[in-house]
Amino acid sequence: MTVTLADVAARAQVSPATVSRVLNGNYPVAASTRERVLRAVDELDYVLNGPASALAAATSDLVGILVNDIADPFFGIMASAIQAEIGGVGGGRAGGERLAVVCNTGGSPERELTYLTLLQRQRAAAVVLTGGAVEDAPHAAAVAAKLRKLAEAGTRVVLCGRPPAPDTGAVALTFDNRGGARRLTEHLLGLGHRRLGYIAGPEERTTTRHRLEGHRAALAAAQVEEDPRWTVHGPYDRQSGYEATLELLRRDPSLTAVVAANDSVALGACAALRESGLRIPEDVSVAGFDDLPFSVDAVPALTTVRLPLAEAGARAGRIAMGREEPPPGAIAVIRGELMVRGSSGVPRV
Amino acid sequence: MTVTLADVAARAQVSPATVSRVLNGNYPVAASTRERVLRAVDELDYVLNGPASALAAATSDLVGILVNDIADPFFGIMASAIQAEIGGVGGGRAGGERLAVVCNTGGSPERELTYLTLLQRQRAAAVVLTGGAVEDAPHAAAVAAKLRKLAEAGTRVVLCGRPPAPDTGAVALTFDNRGGARRLTEHLLGLGHRRLGYIAGPEERTTTRHRLEGHRAALAAAQVEEDPRWTVHGPYDRQSGYEATLELLRRDPSLTAVVAANDSVALGACAALRESGLRIPEDVSVAGFDDLPFSVDAVPALTTVRLPLAEAGARAGRIAMGREEPPPGAIAVIRGELMVRGSSGVPRV
DNA sequence: ACACCGGCAGCAAGCGCTTTCTATCCCGAG
DNA sequence: CTCGGGATAGAAAGCGCTTGCTGCCGGTGT
């Protein structure tokens, strides 16, 4: 029924071993033989059996990419960049045709673990985990154990935009969320804002905490006292920003600025402000984080912190493929760049 | 080194066959035995070898999802929905833990083919192709041949948001791009517009052609003569919309409306208009297509055609998993819904 | 002229799992 | 008390490929 290596071998009048070597190109084969084999492959329309080859060679050409939400451009952009580097398909590099497995964890710790197991089961060549981690001790330990096991089995593990996981052998490219958030809030403070609302992400995530800490560090440094009512938590999406902003306005109508955990949230905040009859930035300034593509098109354009998502992803991909040296200490911190645009201005007096 | 089935069997004092049966749960095993095996699995921290099992069983638990650009929410949303349905992980359904392989074709026909081969090599359980196809006869034939081969090998093939591929055994969920585009332009014509610019997608894609045809059908029905200068082609992204709009304005400053191939393009168009000192919709109306999440947050909110991306993806995913009956004739046409919002208005007189 | 060696091809032993077929055990029926 | 049969467990034959090792052949060095 289906064509096997042996069929090709028979047709090319060589042994299966030779066909295998031609296909893998890691053993000397005479040019004439190679050509004969290639012709047979073509004529029979032979397609290698991946599982069989993975089993025999004890390696596979699968690379896993874990993301929180593939529908969110934040992850989409990173995934795309990672994939471009690992896919021999796009990368151009001959021989290494790798298949990227993008897994949607939905931010759920269990799913993260499940996917890691599935990847381990497939003997993935590498795994890249993106996005912040959940701050739950048992879960963090479980993930760390899993990563360690993967590393032991020869799977390269890279964390992209995620805090380092000590003693797991994983390489980490971490975003400086704290620093970026701090500079952003400093910018707002510099403009004269003193009453700033903050819409944070979900409570238990590292990214949420780091950005919030940066924000607070800036406030503290400027000796601005923070009112606990000024912080609201919610998911990293537009709707959350919308609702949180209405809530903030309810709690303290005198706020002159709203800092959002990310750009999507900021967009929702803008919508809420506008509907409340407030002008941006004349009445209230708004700031986001990430600088996703649509942020520059917001009206007014969003002041935010640009994270080099594509670059980071590309680098993570190359490291995962062993095509780039891991950073010293296996940890690299990637800074964000403050993008000052129209949504932030001097507060009304 | 690594734990195998045999190790588990030894520890549980049973044969490898029994362990396999416990793990697959498709053969009667005494409760006490099962428990003993499960305990051994746990104690040894055993992880099944995917390739080996795929080889022996001649099936795999991989499902391929082909997208043009994972960084584009249009595809991200579909991919996410598909994945949610196939992943036993999230779906809750026991036993069927499937791994989704999201492949970025970048819209390139060769890569599409390469990925299909890779998926065939992995003996994927199913493949879902999303987005429009390239209208190139040789390539279309090659893809069709590949799909046929996949179907023969038992891989379920579903097209989501893509035109049907006759005689390939593939199920198609197609978007009614033509109808949606037509209704959209009819809306604009109804408002009184007579000089409408159209920013089309890349020339050779089915989606591009269908949307353009719908637009023209509306014009023809209203007996509005179209000036060839009013159509510009470009990629499906923001920048393209920006540049194309400037070009349209240069060609004919009297245009009262700009219809974009999709929402991202429309956003770029808005930016260009604004920078040109034109108000939306007072001076120029703008319309998009897809109704991506950010479209409602544009200022003014974008008039567009909503495509039920998530629903379509979910359905495609279920069909791919054999959990839902394919539509009669293996083809379903999914209509878009016209969303009239602030970016379209009565033209200036 | 002979032993030696490098280049290339083949043999055969698995890789770790699934599954068919067979063996065993214990039950109730005759 | 014996026999048929349902319920389980095991033996073993692969699944299709990779790879260490062996073998063959023609060219070299001396």
**Domain holding B17: CATH number?**
1.10.260.40
A198: buried, middle or exposed (CB in 10 Å: 19+, 13-18, 0-12)? buried
Confidence of residue B93 (pLDDT cuts 50, 70, 90): very low
Using CA atoms, how far apart are residues B150 and B153, in angstroms rounded to an integer? 5
pLDDT digits (tens, 9 = 90+) for A143-199: 999 999 999 888 999 999 999 999 999 999 999 999 999 999 999 999 999 999 999
Q: Using the CA of B21, which nucleotide's C1' is the nearest one?
A: C18
Q: Is A341 on the interface with B (CB under 8 A)?
A: no
Using CA atoms, how far apart are residues A70 and A51, in angstroms rounded to an integer? 27
Task: Give the amino acid at A259.
Answer: V
> Do A69 and A161 fall into the same domain?
yes
Using CA atoms, how far apart are residues B214 and B134, in angstroms rounded to an integer? 18
Mean residue pLDDT across chain B: 93
Interchain contact, B299 vs A298, CB within 8 Å? yes
> Do A182 and A163 fall into the same domain?
no
Interchain contact, A297 vs B298, CB within 8 Å? yes
Interchain contact, A99 vs B104, CB within 8 Å? no
Q: Identify whether B56 is part of a domain.
A: no
Give the H/E segment covering residue A101.
strand A99-104
Confidence of residue B298 (pLDDT cuts 50, 70, 90): confident
Q: Using the CA of B5, which nucleotide's C1' is the nearest one?
A: C16
> Do B256 and B303 fall into the same domain?
yes
Q: Identify whether B345 is part of a domain.
A: no
What integer is the mean pLDDT of B281-296? 96
How would you classify the pairing of strands A337-339 and A304-306? Answer: antiparallel
Q: Identify whether B152 is part of a domain.
A: yes
Q: Is A118 on the interface with B (CB under 8 A)?
A: yes
pTM beyond 0.75: the answer is yes
Among residues of chain B, what percentage have pLDDT more than 90? Answer: 86
Interchain contact, A55 vs B55, CB within 8 Å? yes
B69, B104, B123 ranked by CB distance to A51: nearest: B123
How would you classify the pairing of strands A62-67 and A196-200? Answer: unpaired
Encoding tokens for residue A177?
């969320």
**Strand D bases with any atom < 7 A from protein Cβ:** 7-12, 14-20
B153: CB within 7 A of chain C nucleic strand = no
Encoding tokens for residue A1?
């029924």
Q: Identify whether B343 is part of a domain.
A: no
CA distance A73 to chain B (A): 6
A73, A101, A120 ranked by CB distance to B47: nearest: A120
User: What is the CA B253 to chain-centroid distance, rounded?
Assistant: 36
Say what the pLDDT of residue A280 is: 96
> Do A124 and A202 fall into the same domain?
no
Which residue in B63, B101, B108, B124 sits closest to A83, CA to CA?
B101
Last residue of a domain, one of B270, B291, B307: B307
Domain ranges, residue B25: 5-48
Q: Are B302 and B340 in contact (CB under 8 A)?
A: no
* C-beta within 7 A of nucleic chain C, residues 208-247 of A: none
Q: Are A185 and A215 in contact (CB under 8 A)?
A: yes
A192: buried, middle or exposed (CB in 10 Å: 19+, 13-18, 0-12)? middle
For chain A, how many structural domains are there in total? Answer: 3
User: What is the CA B336 to chain-centroid distance, rounded?
Assistant: 15
A164: CB within 7 A of chain C nucleic strand = no
**pLDDT of B92 higher than 50:** no
Residues of B in contact with A120 (CB under 8 A): 47
Task: Name all contacts of B19-28 with Cβ < 8 Å and 24+ positions apart.
Answer: B23/B48, B25/B95
> Do A183 and A299 fall into the same domain?
yes
Question: How many beta-carbon pairs below 8 A join chains A and B?
Answer: 170
Angle in degrees, 0-180, between the axes of helices A263-275 and A238-251, rounded to the nearest 10: 50
What integer is the mean pLDDT of A79-90? 80
> Do B213 and B265 fall into the same domain?
yes
Using CA atoms, how far apart are residues A84 and A313, in angstroms rounded to an integer? 9
Beta bridge partners of B304: B339
Q: Kindly tell me the sign of the dihedral angle through the C-alpha atoms of B276, B281, B284, B285.
A: positive
Q: Identify whether B204 is part of a domain.
A: yes
Q: Is A16 on the interface with B (CB under 8 A)?
A: no
Beta bridge partners of A67: A104
Among residues of chain A, what percentage have pLDDT more than 90? Answer: 87
Say what the pLDDT of residue B349 is: 73
- Distance measured from the CA of protein residue A50 to the C1' of nucleotide D23, in angstroms: 31
**Domain holding A184: CATH number?**
3.40.50.2300
Say what the pLDDT of residue A106 is: 87
Q: Identify whether A53 is part of a domain.
A: no
Which residue in B89, B132, B72 sits closest to B293, CA to CA?
B72
> Do B84 and B43 fall into the same domain?
no
Q: Identify whether A55 is part of a domain.
A: no
**pLDDT of B95 higher than 70:** no
> Do B315 and B296 fall into the same domain?
no
Q: Is B240 on the interface with A (CB under 8 A)?
A: no
> Do A300 and A314 fall into the same domain?
no
> Do B302 and B315 fall into the same domain?
no
**Strand C bases with any atom < 7 A from protein Cβ:** 7-12, 14-20
- Distance measured from the CA of protein residue A106 to the C1' of nucleotide C19, in angstroms: 37
Using CA atoms, how far apart are residues B207 and B209, in angstroms rounded to an integer? 5
Interchain contact, A122 vs B84, CB within 8 Å? no
What integer is the mean pLDDT of A274-287? 96
Q: Is A121 on the interface with B (CB under 8 A)?
A: yes
Say what the pLDDT of residue A349 is: 73
Angle in degrees, 0-180, between the axes of helices B309-320 and B73-86, rounded to the nearest 10: 40
Q: Could you count the other beta carbons within 10 Å of the beta carbon of residue B168?
A: 21
> Do B330 and B262 fall into the same domain?
no
> Do B123 and B217 fall into the same domain?
no
- In B271-310, the residues whose Cβ lies within 8 Å of chain A are 271, 274, 293-294, 296-299
CA distance B297 to chain A (A): 7
Residue of B nearest to A1 (CA): B153
Q: Identify whether A57 is part of a domain.
A: no
Beta bridge partners of A158: A128, A171
Residue of B nearest to A67 (CA): B80
> What DSSP string runs through B220-281?
HHTTPPPPGGGEEE--SSHHHHHHHHHHHHHH-TT--EEEESSHHHHHHHHHHHHHTT--TT
Q: Which of B49, B102, B274 to mutate to test the interface with A (most CBs of A within 10 A)?
A: B102
Residue of B nearest to A105 (CA): B90
**pLDDT of B91 higher than 70:** no
